[in-house]
Amino acid sequence: MSSLDAASDQTPQDPQLLENPLYAKRTERARADKPPSRSTPLGAVAASRFPNTTSRKVLEQHILDEDEALVAGSFGTVWYKPVNVKGIDLKLEPLQPSIGTVVHGLDLARDLDDPDVVAFIRQLWLERHVVAFRNQSHVTREQMVSFVEHFGEVGMPFGEKDHVPNSPYDLNQQIKDNEIPNMLVLPSDSTVPNAASGWHADATWQRKPPMASVLMCREAPPIGGDTCFCDCFGMWEGLSKQTKEKVANLRAVHIGGVGHQQDGKTPVSVHPVARTHPETGQTSLYVQQGFVRRFADEHNMSEDEQRPILLEMKLQEGRPEYTCRLKWEPGTLAMWDNRCVLHSASGDFWPHRRFMERLTILDFDEDRRVPYYDPSHELPID
Ligand SMILES: [Fe+2]
């Protein structure tokens, strides 16, 4: 077999994928030597790198040749804050001014047995919204569950226990780990590329969306596949005064995708547009246009009225100033606050492989699980 045959004959990252109709369909596309669809970023980025290549095999080989010379290494200066927590020396590397910190020096399999360390990480997470840890490859799936249990209740793959999607048209639900049924496994290879690109918070189409999500990288592309995170407090603050006043008491409709269907029914929930963070009291913009298409029917707003407001909100999504970008390495684990953070996988890494594992976390306090807006916490709009 020549290397050019690699894509169509590649074995899947997990044999369970062979049962998946979506996997079969995309494998067929690979066998027909058609590049990944340019209607997804994975295909668009590949086409942008080599625009005149119509053969998938040739395109794949061009990209692999170009990326082959990459080596892992580090150089340059990184700013970090040194801290000592219960005798452990940590380096806190901020990714962006308002969001994201990489914590260096912690062993998640061992160091969180100390409740003071857990309290430190929780406080840091509340302040920074996203925390990430490097060099955690040794942490098993079971230990990931133990990690999550320090911060909340382990959720089902999509949060609450009463909604278990069973759509066959989703690759991510097809790999089951019977020991860890709450885990969502996220495969991607050259035959069937897959990335949750597009700004969203996880499962906001649930009535009680998961408080947080945890993602572990087991296999990382040498380039691309970063996850970007967007600070929804910044998104709220960035809206115009008029818009804030207009939308502060509106609610929006969050609609799940086809892959989130349970018994053929699409999940839908209505949530406030401005959301009060139940632990810090800060207001965030709780509209992610991955799942939101319109405001609630109770407001009787015409499409013409809704469109410019949704557009203004959309323009806040992913602004560089509110956004940090995490480059994955095998063994990087990140935890983010779904109540005030959007995320988007960067679908730019085809034909490289990427393999991730996700857990969701529900708030220990059941009364705080349903999103709400409490204007008494709000600073006057200026
Ligand atoms: Fe997600």
Question: CA–CA distance from 5 to each of 56, 119, 146, 154, 296 (Å)?
Answer: 10, 51, 42, 42, 51
Centre of ligand 1 to C-alpha 216, Å, is: 13
- pLDDT for 8 equals 47
User: Which residues contact residue 124 at a Cβ distance below 8 angstroms, ignoring those fewer than 6 apart?
Assistant: 92, 101, 103, 131
Mean of pLDDT values over 219-232: 97
Phi and psi torsions of 252, nearest 5°: -125, 155
Q: How far is the CA of 201 from the centre of ligand 1 (A)?
A: 6
Mean pLDDT of 217-238: 97
State yes or no: pLDDT of 264 exceeds 90. Answer: no
Nearest in space to 183 (alpha carbons), one of 212, 204, 158, 152: 158
Q: DSSP H helical segments within 50-161, as ranges?
A: 56-67, 115-128, 141-149
| Residue 170 pLDDT greater than 80, yes or no | no
Tally of CB atoms within 10 A around 65? 10
Q: How far is the CA of 268 from the centre of ligand 1 (A)?
A: 17
pLDDT of 197 > 60? The answer is yes
- In this predicted structure, which of 146-150, 165-169, 350-354, 370-374 has the lowest mean pLDDT? 165-169
Q: How far is the CA of 196 from the centre of ligand 1 (A)?
A: 6
Q: Does residue 382 register a pLDDT over 60? A: no
| pLDDT for the residue numbered 380 | 60
pLDDT at 347: 96
Expressed in angstroms and rounded, the spacing between residue 194 Cα and the centre of ligand 1 is: 12
Ligand 1 centroid to 158 CA: how many Å?
Answer: 10
213 CA to middle of ligand 1, Å?
8
Ligand 1: distance of its center to the CA of 147 in Å? 19
Task: Please state, rounded to an integer, the average pLDDT across all residues of the chain.
Answer: 93
Query: Which CATH topology does 81-230+323-363 take?
Result: Double-stranded beta-helix (3.60.130)
What is the Cα–Cα distance from 235 to 316, expressed in whole angstroms? 5
Percent of the chain that is helix, strand, coil (3-state, to 5): 30, 25, 45
pLDDT of residue 3: 38
What span, in angstroms and rounded, lies between the C-alpha atoms of 303 and 265?
25
| Residue 337 Cα to ligand 1 middle (Å) | 12
CB-based contact 37:197 (threshold 8 Å)? no
Ligand 1 centroid to residue 342 C-alpha, Å: 8
* 360 CA distance to ligand 1 middle (Å): 10
- Residues forming a β-bridge with 215: 334, 358
Q: What pTM was computed for the model?
A: 0.92
Helix ranges (DSSP H) in 129-214: 141-149
Ligand 1 midpoint to CA 198 (Å): 9
Going from N- to C-terminal start, the domains of the chain cover: 3-67, 81-230+323-363, 232-317+372-377
Ligand 1 centroid to 290 CA: how many Å? 10
State in Å: Cα 28 to ligand 1 middle. Answer: 27
Say how many Å lie between the CA of residue 382 and the centre of ligand 1.
33
- Whole-number Å distance, alpha carbon 176 to ligand 1 midpoint, is 18
CA of 58 to the centre of ligand 1 (A): 31
- 325 CA to middle of ligand 1, Å? 14
Instruction: Write out pLDDT tens, residues 292-347.
Output: 999 999 999 999 999 999 999 999 999 999 999 999 999 999 999 999 999 999 99
Mean pLDDT of 270-298: 96
pLDDT at res. 132: 98
Task: Provide the token pair at 273.
Answer: 């547009």
Q: Residue 238 corresponds to which tokens in the numbers above?
A: 């960035």
Task: Measure 343 CA to ligand 1 centroid, in angstroms.
Answer: 6
Report how far ligand 1's centroid is from the alpha carbon of 11 (Å): 26
Cα of 2 from ligand 1 centre, angstroms: 36
Please tell me whether residue 382 adopts helix, strand or coil conformation: coil
C-alpha 202 to ligand 1 mean position (Å): 5
